[in-house]
Chain A
Amino acid sequence: MGDFLVIWEQRAQVLAGLAGTLELLAFSGAVSLLGSFLLLPALISRRRMIAGIAACYVDAMRCTPFLLLAYIVYFALPLAGVRLDNWWAGALALCVYNIAYMAELLRGAWAGLPGSLIEAGKAYGFTGFTLLWRIVLPPVIIDALPLLGNQLVQIVKDSAFLTVIAVTEITHEMNGIQATYFIPFASFVTAIALYWAVCLAIEGASGLLAKKMEARRA
């Protein structure tokens, strides 16, 4: 129990770690969501070339462990003359990785859309952007929502890897406390509890959002 008191005394550092993880989540989550919506048209493009290149990117990411990608971004970008600090390198790796996964989720939801829905929309005179916005996107988003929530949880978990490039996040800070005060159990249990809380909050929020959207549709 005394060990947890030490953690409590170091709460500033613990909170800094939590804030770091949440910042990574907010930034990478928002950019990945936006990016995946931009990548989606390329993935379902009728032009073979464009769809092929997009699918290649998605498949490459699906074969790569996140840690390896983080290392590549961290070590390779300076070779290309781009200097990023650790946080930006980590956040960039998270975005590049998760855009691919989220776009694939959206493509799945899009493919499950009945063709009759779009035809009915067209028959009612919806065209172009309004067709997309009013008819196509709502069911795609509702279908993909729980999976997108899972992907956000995945971002939280992947962000723990960024401790290897010394980004301030939960695991990194708790490992620091652990090494200073020799209280590994209390530190890592606190870390896991924090991850759990963050992930439960994400699941709760995506569940609530799904319910709201479902209610609006009905």
Chain B
Amino acid sequence: MTAYDYWSIVQGALATIVYSLASIVLGVPLGLGLALIRWARTPVLNRVVMLYVSLIRSCPAVTLTLLLFFALPQFGISLEPPVAAILALTISTSAFNCEIWRASLNSFPKDQYDAALSFAMPRGLRLRRIVLPQLWRSSLPGLVNEMTLQVKSTPAVAVIGIVEITRAALRVGARTYEPLPPFLFALLLYGMIVFVFIKAQRMLERRAAGGGRV
């Protein structure tokens, strides 16, 4: 492996990071929105979200990516590979994030909510001031866990030609006829990315614990 080969895999790592971050940034709030719909028991939407989560949770990211990239043009919507990739990753992570947010919402102490109600706080304010600040703290471990899973599911978008770590390593291996070294280097890069997420979670948790003292 030459220095250029290493560099091409590192470039793949940049793509992996960009795609993971984009889908996380879009998918985490989307998951919260979905969870709030279920939590508020919105009449019809509640059922729709339930169906969406059940369906997406059992749908492999590869299949979803293929569906979006190849089938949407049939309806006159053709997406560039990066857009289709981010969309697929966002759809899949939002379903998992919805379940994580919902678990925290369900275990949110009801007395606090009632206390805010007795102070005549309007619904939106109750959500913003009372529920959300505590909610993200209790959801954080689950969300970060899902983020690391998300990093590991990014190779799915390689099927529509996006060059991320795994595909970059595969290319190098195909050229040098020595597949093992690039794959091991790829393994190292994934390990580093996942490690950064876990470190960031510990840091955020410590800060949240420090700031959350009453």
A contact residues vs B (CB 8 Å cutoff) = 60, 62-68, 71-72, 75-76, 79, 153, 156-161, 163-164, 170-171, 174-175, 178, 184-185, 188-189, 191-192, 195-196, 198-200
Contacts and interface: CB of A to CB of B under 8 A. Distances in A.
Interface stretch (B35-43, B55-63, B101-109, B129-137): B55-63
A67 B156 contact: yes
B214 to A, nearest CB: 29
Interface string B27-61: 00000000000000000000000000011011111
Given A67-B166, A76-B180, A192 B152 contact: no
Contacts of B201: none
B200 interface: no
B166 A68 contact: yes
A79 B180 contact: yes
Contacts of A159: 60
Contact of A68 (B59, B67, B159, B190): B190
A63 B71 CA distance: 32
B58 A198 contact: yes
Contact of A191 (B63, B148, B183): B63
A164 B183 contact: no
Interface string B13-30: 000000000000000000
A188 B73 CA distance: 13
A66 B154 CA distance: 10
Contacts of B66: 171, 175, 178, 184, 188
Interface in B167-214: 169-170, 173, 179-180, 183, 186-187, 190-191, 194-195
B67 to A, nearest CB: 4
A185 B55 contact: no
9 contacts: A63-B191, A64-B152, A72-B187, A157-B61, A161-B62, A161-B156, A171-B62, A192-B55, A195-B58
Given A153-B58, A192-B67, A196-B59, A63 B190 contact: yes
Contact of B60 (A63, A79, A160, A185): A160
Given A76-B180, A188-B67, A196 B55 contact: yes
A131 to B, nearest CB: 33
Interface of B: 54-55, 57-64, 66-67, 70-71, 73-75, 148, 151-156, 158-159, 165-166, 169-170, 173, 179-180, 183, 186-187, 190-191, 194-195
B187 A63 contact: yes
Contact of B173 (A75, A184, A199): A75
Which of B62, B70, B159 has the most CB atoms of chain A within a 10 A radius of its CB?
B62
A98 B173 CA distance: 26
A214 B191 CA distance: 39
A157 B190 contact: no
B58 A199 contact: yes
B57 A199 contact: yes
Given A75-B183, A171-B60, A171-B62, A67 B158 contact: yes
A158 to B, nearest CB: 8
Nearest to A65: B152
B187 A71 contact: no
Given A68-B190, A171-B66, A192 B158 contact: no
B165 to A, nearest CB: 8
Given A63-B190, A175-B66, A68 B60 contact: no
B154 A65 contact: yes
Contacts of A189: 67, 71
Nearest to B67: A188
Given A161-B156, A185-B75, 8 more contacts: A63-B187, A64-B187, A65-B151, A65-B152, A65-B154, A72-B187, A158-B60, A196-B58
A174 B151 CA distance: 26
A26 B64 CA distance: 23
Nearest to A198: B58
Nearest to A182: B74
